[in-house]
Structure 1
Amino acid sequence: MKPFPEHIKRLLLETVAFVKRHPVGVGLGLVFALYAATRLPALKSLPIFCDEAIYIRWSQQALHDGRLLVSLTDGKPPLHPVLMTTFLALFDDPLAAARLFSVFLGGFTVWGVYLVAKELEGPRLGVLSALLYVICPFALWYDRLALTESLVMPLFVFAGYFALKAAKTGNLWYMAGTAGLTGLGLLTKATAQLLFFVVPFAYLLREESPSGAESPASRARRRPLLRWLVAVVITFGVAYGIYSLLRFASDFHVIGEMAELHNLSVSQLLRDPFKVFFSNAWALLRVLFVYMTPVFFLTCLAGIVWGAVRKRRGAWFLAAWVVLVGGVTCFVVTFHFTRFFLVVLPPLVIGGAYALLGLYDLVVARWRTPTLTLPLEGGGEKDEALPPEGRGRKIAFVAVIVLCVLIFVPAALQDIAIIASPQHTWLPYEDREQFVTQWPAGWGTDETVEYLAAQSEKGEILVGAVGAPGTQTAAVPADTLSVYLFDDENVEIVPYTFEEGDRFPALLGSDPRPTFVVLNAFEEVPEGWPLEVIERFPKDGNRRLAMFLTHVEPANPPGGTGP
């Protein structure tokens, strides 16, 4: 066997030396490389989702029409669609651009998880926590979608990080970062209000002065808890002041109206505190169990409990984050989406890192050969090896290996499925219906857009976009088509809901232009409608429902038109 060439040996030695000198930097570099490798490939493998189309349309209107506050008309704060304009201006494909924006923001969430965990217990916990976040299927699924949560998550995590820095160092100026980020979070989504419950508990990480360094009288004069509470109140006051800038908008009142529809009021909670709690709590546990994979989820919970039992103040903070954020959400949300539960993911993965590092330390302690220090006859001492605890160390070693396999292998398999074939991955039933099998899923959008764009090159066309029966919305297909065709001057898209009965819209039958109708989530073309089916696009996993691309026949049958 030929020896390695000297230059290769030297390169290997230099690489090993570099890793030893910069283990944290190398570890983070590998984590972010894995993040890019899991978030960027096949970014459009899942068709456009209803809410994605709505957010992209708002962003396009902000970019091209200057309507920066258009999202307020639906009761949504404007920061996410406004910031998304930066990526829409750079890339031709709106959906790819919007999802790339989410991937970009997700990288900051990974960094924030690292910083929070590092603040709790050092860089080793930080790197492992960031790794667990990257491999978590729950994070992967939503990092690849153009939804508001992609901006909420980094703002939430970094607001918590600055609160921890303020508590640990005693430098309350760090709370300025928490105030600004919380304010930006409120300009993004109401979920940021949950920071009001999390931030005060950062005080658990406050470091006491060294013994004897401060007299009780001096400490009493300083009143650290009182100063902390005052800082928290000022922080939230500044954050709410930032949010209150929206009050100058004419549609600000819609935010409150939508909040009343989706959340219980204080009076409703007082009358019936557990009206929605148990159903939401069950949904929270079920969603985390599926999205995080079972062993991964249970390990994360066990890590937080184990750390709290061992009186690690960082674990107490994580427990407060999970319990308060999850609990408040379960008490007040009248209808849950799985993405509402994303904000409990960062403390959970840090808890999982606690568990794995605790087991690793146990293995190291078992693996080291125990020694006994014996005195020498002429003076001095010597260390003598004791018989190794073979069974104990083997059990500990096997336990760590098995646990890592049960965490990483199912998560990796689910990650691969999400990237390559998201419609076939293991999803909570709510998300399977929303993203894959029911009306919000935009199967057939790309093919329909391609066909209509080709027809518009021949001249002006009219497109009727008919929403799914019973939904009272035509967002799919109207917004999903408008995302791609909004700037085509030869295309006019007219949305219709299917709530007035089954009569064919008169305008679509009388317009002299070539007219096409796209029907979403229909079983068949309604009887009596003068439509010729061009293509049928079934919802994946639901062959009963489909999106129909149709052409209006030149002559309507008798009685086929209506008012």
Structure 2
Amino acid sequence: MGLYGIGKDLFSRTAGFLAALIYIACPYMFFFDRLALVDGLVSAFGIWMVRWSFHIVHEKVSLDRGFLVLGVLMGAALLTKATALLLFPLPPVIFYLWRTHQKEQFWIHGGIGCAVILAMNLPVLLGGPDIGTGGRIPFLHRPGYFIAPSVLLAFPWEIWYRNLVIIREFLVSYMTLPLSLVLMASLVYLFTEHRRAEKVLWFWFLFPILVILVIANGFFSRYFVMMIPAAILLIAAACDRLSHFIIVTVKKLAHSTEKARMKARAGALAGLMFLVLFNAAALDLALIHRPEKAPIHPLDRMLYIEGMNSGYGVREAADFLANEARDFRERMGYPLPVMLPMSPGNPPQGVTVYLWDHPAVRLVPAYWWPESPRLIPGDSRFTLRPSIYHFTPKYRREISLLNRAYFIYPYTTYPKERFLKENPEFQLDRQFKKLDPNLSVSLYRHHPKPVEMPE
């Protein structure tokens, strides 16, 4: 809806409809909206940030209400992921090009919007919430993600060229050739017509790419999800104009009735959409029915389809644990403990999606492991947290509740041999294979030693 609204306001109702249609079929969004949920959410916030910025520009809302909503959207985007900062220049660029900053009380209400952003994020960044993950600010906690300032000052052309090649590979893999060609046609319109709408959309598309190109020391294709909506809007507008160009160029149609021209333009649009989206739809269908054979980037194939981060084996492991839990509860009278590592992602967190709130399962975040190599603490009691993301409330429970517990082994560099050496009472119980035959979802079971009775 947000993309349709932007296309309708900047170009035409037809362009808005085409943008929504292309968004649904574009392999980049089709793939990552289902796999990279956080990046997809940042992209959605970016769409609505632009939408509300144009509401302010076109005076569809008052300045106070407009900046309040815009501040909430930007604050929520930053709260979702720090890479949302790459979208923050968009509203100022829009306001500058439309001279909105010259309006009375613009800066006062803009300051209120900035205050909303700070109010939503400072408690998390400075105080630390009861719910959260450590090291979430890449600039502070992940300096290895970025090229060092000393290296940047030396103009690392080789690194920049490598980044450019990787970005091109990512975009070519998911944008398909027809979509890319129409996007290039939109670039022609930018240089011939100099419309502000195209300038904003090209800035939206190119600015995050350039920043990643210059400062990133490694990145993934999902990082570019936030700027693909801009490319989709440009493609939709170009298709709308190309259909009009076809009607004007064909002399027979140029002198026909308005009704005939409208029918011809609808036919031209349908033909263009078929040509532009045929390859995209074919890739979408391959991702649905034959993901292991879909022609996607090799890194994403390893990450999301063949590797440990893929969903293969996750549902099977969850179903197995659910069945075990029902039998365990009938025998023991309390839920089956399933221990989890603190590292997010598949396979442990994928399994817990299916087991969340299961009455026969008690999820136990093992926040002490592997810093403490013993998975079962040596004390008589242990601290139980609601999840790996919750630091409170904390409950003290008897250590005996962990007897016969399952442990979902994480995707980690911690060797399984070392784990078994430090925890001899755990044994491999079940494995659920990934597409890569060397990888699997591994479930380890706790087998407590029998208590020796005194003679």
Q: TM > 0.5 between the two?
A: yes
Structure 1: 5+ residue stretches without partners: 1-110, 208-221, 373-382, 384-393, 557-563
Q: 1:310: Cα distance to partner?
A: 2.1
Whether the aligned pair in 1 keeps the contact of 2:243 and 2:268 (CA below 8 Å) is: no
Deviations 1:51-76 (A, max 9, x none): xxxxxxxxxxxxxxxxxxxxxxxxxx
CA distance in 1, matches of 2:121, 2:376: 45
1:261, distance to aligned residue in structure 2 (A): 0.4
Q: CA deviation at 1:546?
A: 2.0
Matches within 5 A, 1:306-345: 306-345=189-228
Q: Is 1:126 matched with 2:21?
A: no
Per-residue CA deviation, residues 107-159 of structure 1 (Å, 9 max, x unaligned), is xxxx1111111221221211111111111111112333472234322221111
Q: 1:191 to 1:324 in 2, by over 3 A?
A: same
Question: What does 1:234-383 align with in structure 2 at a 5 Å threshold?
Answer: 235-246=113-124, 249-250=127-128, 254-256=135-137, 259-261=140-142, 263-264=145-146, 267=149, 271-272=153-154, 274=156, 277-369=160-252
Local SS of the residue matching 1:514 = coil
Q: Deviations over 1:272-292 (max 9, x none)?
A: 565854443333322221112
Cα distance in structure 2, aligned partners of 1:499 and 1:505: 8
| 2:279 paired residue among 410, 426, 451 | 410
Give distance in 2, aligned partners of 1:265 and 1:235.
32
Deviations along 1:267-319, whole A, 9 cap, x unmatched?
Answer: 56753565854443333322221112222133224314423432222111111
Give me the whole-angstrom Cα distance separating, in 1, the residues matched to 2:230 and 2:426.
54
Secondary structure in 2 matching 1:124: helix
* Cα distance change of structure 1 residues 412 and 474 upon mapping to structure 2, 3 Å threshold: closer
Give the direction of change, closer, same or farther, for the CA distance of 1:257–1:130 in structure 2 (3 Å limit).
Answer: closer
- Give me the identity figure in percent: 21
Query: What is the CA distance between 1:360 and its match in structure 2?
Result: 0.6
Asked whether the equivalents of residues 403 and 448 of structure 2 are also in contact (C-alpha less than 8 Å), the reply is no
Partners of 2:101 and 2:408 lie apart in 1 by 67
2:440 paired residue number: 546
Question: Offset at 1:432?
Answer: 1.6
Q: 1:232 to 1:140 in 2, by over 3 A?
A: same
Aligned residue identity for 2:15: L
Q: Deviation digits for residues 74-110 of structure 1, max 9, x if unmatched?
A: xxxxxxxxxxxxxxxxxxxxxxxxxxxxxxxxxxxxx
Once residues 492 and 125 of structure 1 are traced to their aligned partners in structure 2, the CA distance between those partners, rounded to angstroms, is: 49
Q: Secondary structure at the match of 2:223?
A: helix
Tell me which residue corresponds to 1:479.
349
Measured after TM superposition, the shift of residue 407 of structure 1 is 1.9
CA displacement, residues 166-208 of structure 1 (integer Å, 9 cap, x when unaligned)? 334496453443223212222222232223321122146538x
- Contact conserved, 2:405 with 2:446, CA < 8 A, in 1? yes
Stretch of structure 1 that moved more, 443-452 or 263-272: 263-272
Question: Offset of 1:364 from its aligned partner?
Answer: 0.6
Shift of 1:414: 1.6
After superposition, the C-alpha distances for 1:461-518 in whole angstroms (9 at most, x for unaligned) are 55566x7xxxx94854443344444555665657599979xx996879x989435454
Distance 2:303 2:337 in 1: 28
Larger Rg, first or second structure (1 or 2): 1
Aligned-partner SS, 1:427:
coil
- Relative distance call for 1:230 and 1:519 in structure 2 (3 A) is closer
CA contact (8 A) 1:445 1:481 kept: yes
| TM-aligned CA distance change 1:259 to 1:490, over 3 Å | same
SS at match of 1:543: coil
Check if 1:428 corresponds to 2:310: no
1:375 corresponds in structure 2 to: none
The one-letter code of the counterpart of 2:237 is Y
For structure 2, the 5+ residue unaligned runs are: 257-263, 379-398, 451-455
Corresponding position of 1:141? 31
AA paired with 1:291? Y
Quote the Cα distance in structure 1 between the aligned partners of 2:138 and 2:22: 38
Q: Which residue of 1 aligns with 2:91?
A: 199
Tell me, in whole angstroms, the C-alpha distance in 2 between the residues paired with 1:257 and 1:517. Answer: 30
Confirm or deny: 8 A CA contact 1:321 1:344 kept in the other structure: yes
Report the CA distance between 1:331 and its aligned residue. 2.9
Q: How many Å apart are 1:345 and its aligned residue?
A: 0.9
Find the aligned partners of 1:277 and 1:226 in 2 and give their Cα distance: 43
Trace 1:442-457 onto structure 2 (pairs within 5 A): 442-456=311-325, 457=327
Once the two structures are overlaid, the 10-residue window that deviates more, 284-293 or 145-154, is 145-154
Q: Is the 8 A contact 2:201 2:230 kept in 1?
A: yes
For 1:346 and 1:464, the matched residues in 2 are separated by 40
Q: Offset at 1:244?
A: 2.5
Offset of 1:259 from its aligned partner?
A: 4.1
Which residue pairs with 2:102 in the alignment? 224
Whichever residue aligns with residue 330 of structure 1, its letter is L
Is the contact between residue 304 and residue 318 of structure 1 (CA under 8 Å) also seen in structure 2? no
| Deviation of the 1:344 alpha carbon | 0.9
Find the residue that maps to 1:443 and give its secondary structure.
Answer: coil
Give the RMSD, CA atoms, in angstroms. 4.5
Residue identity matched to 1:116: I
**Aligned equivalents of 1:225 and 1:277: distance in 2?**
41
1:183 pairs with one of 66, 75, 80: 75
Aligned residues, how many? Answer: 403
Call closer, same or farther: CA 1:507–1:178 in 2, change over 3 Å: closer
Equivalent residue of 1:340, what SS? Answer: helix
Matched residue SS, 1:187: helix
TM-score by length of 2: 0.71
**Structure 2 counterpart of 1:536, from 427, 431, 438:** 431
Aligned pair in 2 of structure 1 residues 231, 194: CA closer, same or farther (>3 Å)? farther
